[in-house]
Chain A
Amino acid sequence: MTTSGKTLKPNTSVKSALGRLASNQLFIPILALILLSLFVLIAKPSFFNIEFKNVDGNNILQGNLITVLDKASELAILAIGMTLVTSASGGQDISVGAMIAIAGSVVIRVVKGYAPDISGGQFAGMIITAFLLCVVVSALFGAFNGSLVAFFKIQPMVATLILFTAGRSIAQWINNNENITIKDNRFGYFGGFIPGVPIPTPIFITAICLGIMALVLKFTNLRLYSQSVGINASSSRLNGINPKMMKLLTFIILGVCVAVCGFIKVSRVSQIRYTTIGNAIEMDAILAVALGGNNLGGGKFNMTASVIGAYVIQFLTTALMSFKVPSTAIYAYKAVIVIVLVILSAPIVREKLNDLKKKLFSSQQTKVKEVS
């Protein structure tokens, strides 16, 4: 067998660049985003309008694109953790919605104890306490899920079914089943706007989370370890990796992601609604991972693709809403488009597309030869 790429030369650099692009995992989610935008652009050009508006004495940016970026925040953050869990454990966590309720409830529990007119310093201290406590609690629940998966070898979906069922009850129990509204309007800054800043705060929080994850992936071996555990745990162990700890770690990271989401969610509405907060978000988070073309059976992953997948989902929802689709019907529309996207990003379809592309290119190649 010949070894090198020299035997079959790519005919032109442009084509090989095109080919690389098409076989890239990012291709499908980005293509989906572009196609959706084109469709919306034709059907309703005003969708893309962004304008300054004065709301409650604040100059803020308003428009559908801002809504997409804002509303997708929780999903994008969850997609980070879900991608890692998927990669290392070969399964998904379906308890994230219920865990968001727990995280939110913890935040509310801390915040409700303070008077609404505390000084700025006290307020900052309170928020930091609430946030850290919520991170710790969520990480612990993540560790609970992770231990079931890693040490008891329970399938992730079954293991997380426990918190999926029990999570919202735990959330209610944390606040004695009271419906609490936080009066201090500064609490709404994190899910809304900080005075003087025209961009919604969740966008910044998401950017920070993505930035941190990018740094973690660059400066640690998280990617290599979780991928190799997901592909071949036995072999990873013989190379000195501890597969159990890796799986546990990914669930803990997802727990931290959940904490951030819960925090944003309760801040958006300044109250806790135990039954609806983060409802069905776990499915969207899993969908984001799938739309990114990641194998839900674990192993190799592409974080960027998952995150873009999250934005595609939100774009779709916002677009449908702007077309005045009744909110009950949105799910049906969404399902149709999602089916198409998921099929397109399935590895087996990608392979076929690659073959097709190869055939197209090679026939062009021969034509070129004939001409010359």
Chain B
Amino acid sequence: MEKSAVLEMRGICKYFPGVRALENVDFTLREGEIHALMGENGAGKSTLIKVLTGVYPKDGGNIHLKGKESEVNIRSPQDAQNMGISTVYQEITLCPNLTVAENMYIGRTKSPLTNWKKINSDAEKLLQSLGIPAKAKQQLSSCSIAVQQMVAIARAVDMECKVLILDEPTSSLDEQEVEKLFKLMRDLREKGVGIIFVTHFLEQVYEVCDRITVLREGKLVGEYIIEDLPRVQLVSKMLGKEFDDMAEIKSESDTENIDYNGTPVYEATGLAGTTGIKPFDFSIHKGEVNGFTGLLGSGRSECVRAIFGADRVTGGIVKINGKKVNINKPLDAMKNGISYLPEDRKRDGIVGDLSVRDNIILALQVMKGFFRPFSRAQAEKFADEYIKLLNIKTASADTPIKSLSGGNQQKVILARWLLANPVYLILDEPTRGIDIGTKVEIQKLVLKLASEGKSVTFISSELDEMIRTCSRLVVMRDGKVVGELKGDDLNQNKIMATIAGGEGK
């Protein structure tokens, strides 16, 4: 074992039915370092973390911890915690209705009696020493998500952890909150804690990490010191190919041929809903890719939900190819050739226990009707076709969709809506929480669909993604459409100015 190492994993293997999730993976964490674990969805990051925290038993290899003579056997998450390995997950796993102090110490006192006074003062001290802006007696739900995240970290730290695992801790935080979290991480590094940082955000890796370990398809690609690995190379290592796809995308996008003077495929006037958006006008032409942009909560998702009839529509005129139609519920929209990939994949997209096949055929099946089910053979044909077309990684079409990785789940939902063969496809955050490879695939697909004459509305939190794919952007602020940008106006500065208001005018 290396001298400064707090954790060494050697030759870790983990198999699932039909899949080698990890094969002979090495991982070393040194004292006082922040170590990024990178890879596409399905590369094996989560599996490695789960092996380390005792969620999955390993099928091979060994794990050494500092201060232990022989290899350790981690059988359960409790085991892991007792050995000083703590994990903070993407979703907060604390109890929002308890106080901060209670959350930090719950389930950890051994005696049946609890000295609340001592716990509160201990908690207060710890919060202060870590610079976390929360009071011990404050109810957790009254703290921001970032502070809740930090409380989770504080809880982990106080369990005298030597290894702290942060699994996508930043995905629900805004920039300032991320900054605070990073400060806390740096402080902990000073104190000698080894931190494993799992994230999809490249910028954050380069801002805070010391070392990077890259996994691909369950195998170790390599361990690198951050200075030695420029971004482009990191990306190409994660993807396993040279990375000029982004450039390719740009050259592919060709928006010259759109006939803006013709009848729009979809046109709404004064569309109003109940979800806090002001009535808005919107239209899209054949072969066009446009987008809604704005800050989180500006109403961009609510707008497309109104278009699809997902929320109650209270007014406005909708025309499809110049013909007036009524869209009051999703089925109306579907029958008029509109498809909608929802923002929240878990809540609104997948039907978790159903097979990949059922998930793919669902929308088309519903459009066909209750009394006309597809034959098994037909359903199989559809599923196999789209699994191949979108390169969906699944053990079989019978696998429940919930056991797929995030990116592949998203592809299944995409397959569902492509199968429905829409004229107008709405994609709300199709690239959120998925790896770069799949992101690029989806963006390419969007442009390909447009070139085939479909209209696409594409929403993404990442501006550069929008700029790359969209030929026109509708900008929103506080539930209102505040501008429309196209052509040369489609650049970061102009968009941000419009979102912010004031200077743009």
Q: A residues bordering B, Cβ < 8 Å?
A: 1-5, 7-8, 218-222, 224-225, 227-228, 231-232, 234-242, 299-300
Contact = CB atoms under 8 A, between A and B. Distances in A.
A2 B20 contact: yes
A154 to B, nearest CB: 22
B370 A220 contact: yes
A224 B376 CA distance: 12
A238 B222 CA distance: 43
Interface stretch (B134-142, B233-241, B282-290, B390-398): B390-398
Nearest to B368: A221
Nearest to B402: A231
A1 B42 contact: yes
Contact of B351 (A4, A7, A228): A228
19 contacts: A1-B218, A1-B405, A3-B395, A4-B18, A8-B19, A218-B373, A221-B369, A225-B370, A228-B358, A232-B350, A234-B348, A235-B351, A237-B310, A238-B348, A239-B330, A240-B329, A241-B366, A242-B329, A242-B331
Contact of A240 (B330, B371, B373): B330
Contacts of B365: 221, 224
Interface string B169-187: 0000000000000000000
Contact of A8 (B18, B367, B393): B18
Nearest to B347: A234
Interface string B446-481: 000000000000000000000000000000000000
A239 B369 CA distance: 12
Interface in B30-53: 42-44
A262 to B, nearest CB: 28
Interface centre among A234, A236, A237 (most CB of B within 10 A): A234
B393 A235 contact: no
B415 to A, nearest CB: 13
Contact of A237 (B44, B218, B330, B352): B330
Contacts of A235: 342, 347-351
A106 B405 CA distance: 55
Contacts of A227: 351, 353-354
Q: Dominant SS at the A interface?
A: loop
Given A228-B362, A235-B351, A300-B353, 14 more contacts: A1-B42, A3-B394, A8-B17, A224-B358, A227-B354, A231-B353, A232-B347, A232-B350, A235-B342, A235-B348, A238-B348, A239-B330, A239-B362, A240-B363
A238 B329 CA distance: 8
Nearest to A228: B351
Interface in B333-367: 334, 340, 342, 347-354, 358, 362-363, 365-367
Interface in B1-44: 15, 17-21, 42-44
Interface centre among B42, B350, B395 (most CB of A within 10 A): B395
Contacts of A220: 370-371, 373
A238 B340 contact: yes
Nearest to B416: A239
B217 interface: yes
Nearest to B379: A224
Nearest to A245: B370
B373 A224 contact: yes
Contacts of A221: 365-366, 369-373
A89 to B, nearest CB: 16
A124 B396 CA distance: 54
A232 B310 CA distance: 15
A1 B21 contact: yes
B5 to A, nearest CB: 28
Contacts of B348: 234-235, 238
A174 B395 CA distance: 58
Contact of B367 (A225, A237, A240): A240
Top 5 nearest A-B pairs (CB, nearest first) are: A240-B331, A240-B366, A1-B42, A5-B18, A228-B351
A43 B63 CA distance: 55
A196 B293 CA distance: 78
B362 A224 contact: yes
A46 B192 CA distance: 77
Contacts of B349: 235, 238
Contacts of B20: 1-2, 7-8
B424 to A, nearest CB: 16
Contacts of B19: 1-3, 7-8
Interface in B170-221: 217-218
Contacts of B44: 1
Contacts of A224: 354, 358, 362, 365, 373
Contacts of A7: 18-20
Nearest to B367: A240
A234 B334 CA distance: 16
A239 B363 contact: yes
Interface centre among B366, B394, B396 (most CB of A within 10 A): B366
Contacts of B351: 227-228, 231-232, 235-236
Interface centre among A222, A232, A237, A242 (most CB of B within 10 A): A232
Contacts of A238: 308, 310, 330, 340, 342, 348-349
Contacts of A222: 370
B380 to A, nearest CB: 14
Interface string B414-447: 0010000000000000000000000000000000
Interface centre among A221, A224, A236, A239 (most CB of B within 10 A): A239
A3 B16 CA distance: 11
A1 B217 CA distance: 4
Contacts of B416: 239
B105 to A, nearest CB: 30
B18 A219 contact: no
Contacts of B362: 224, 228, 239
A328 to B, nearest CB: 41
B16 to A, nearest CB: 9
B273 to A, nearest CB: 15
Contacts of A236: 351
Contact of A300 (B21, B308, B354, B366): B354
Contacts of A3: 19, 393-395
Contacts of A237: 310, 330
A291 B350 CA distance: 28
A231 B354 contact: yes
A90 to B, nearest CB: 12
B354 A219 contact: no
A231 B373 CA distance: 19
Contacts of A5: 17-18, 395-396
Interface centre among B20, B21, B354 (most CB of A within 10 A): B354
